[in-house]
Amino acid sequence: MSEESTLSSESPAGPTVRPSTLHHTHAAVPAQRHPSPGLEHFNSVPEGSAEAALLACCGSRVWARRVAAHRPYPDLDALLAAADEASYDLSPAELAEALADESSPGLHPDAPAAAHTALRAAHAAYESRFGHAFVICLDHVRPAEHLDHFLAGIRSRLAHEPDEERAAAADELRRLARGRIAHLVSDAGHVGHTDSPSVPV
């Protein structure tokens, strides 16, 4: 692969929230085991390209630098473990940077007007209380159930104290980053976002 190789951070159509020292070490990997083509590509591109692609998974520049700096990864599990550890190590300022890069989840334009109204009101209440977008990972929730989960999540988390909610938001960001990274290095096509519901679905 040439040094000019780059990673795309374009999001596919469909739904898409992004959480200090990384101590990740790679476990021994059997000789017959090889990274997937997508992961090999991620491992081999210039560091700046890897960081840019990772920023599409989590909007903390420190997080992206740490994860990119520990390449090459022998497999997806090792990459996700490094991403998790970097997420846990985010400082309050780094977490705030990542949250500022997120958009509150929305609904598909064809959803009923009442559903859009209810979700907008819930987002406004959340953002007024906590000062950042509401983030939630619904990777394993059917699209038809997204609205109920959005509303239930916002209503439940509105009762949090600010420190408690920052911890909850950080955990949702970490889970979202995992899904986005898995798609980033998938063999299904060019790397990019996963269909995590952080933008209109």
Residue 2 to residues 41, 75, 129: CA-CA distances in angstroms?
A: 10, 22, 48
Q: Is the dihedral of CA 22, 59, 165, 115 positive or negative?
A: negative
Q: What is the pLDDT of residues 168-187, one digit of tens each?
A: 999 999 999 999 999 999 86
Decide: 29 and 177 in contact? Cβ < 8 Å.
Answer: no
> Residues with Cβ < 8 Å from 183, sequence gap 6 or more?
191, 192, 193, 194, 195
Checking phi first, is residue 63 left (phi over 0); if not, alpha (psi -120 to 50) or beta? alpha
CATH 1.10.3330.10 maps onto the chain at 37-99+172-184
Q: What is the CATH number of domain 37-99+172-184?
A: 1.10.3330.10
Q: What is the pLDDT of residues 133-172, one digit of tens each?
A: 999 999 888 888 888 998 999 999 999 999 999 999 999 9
Neighbouring C-beta atoms of residue 127, cutoff 10 Å: 14
What pTM was estimated for this model as a whole? 0.75
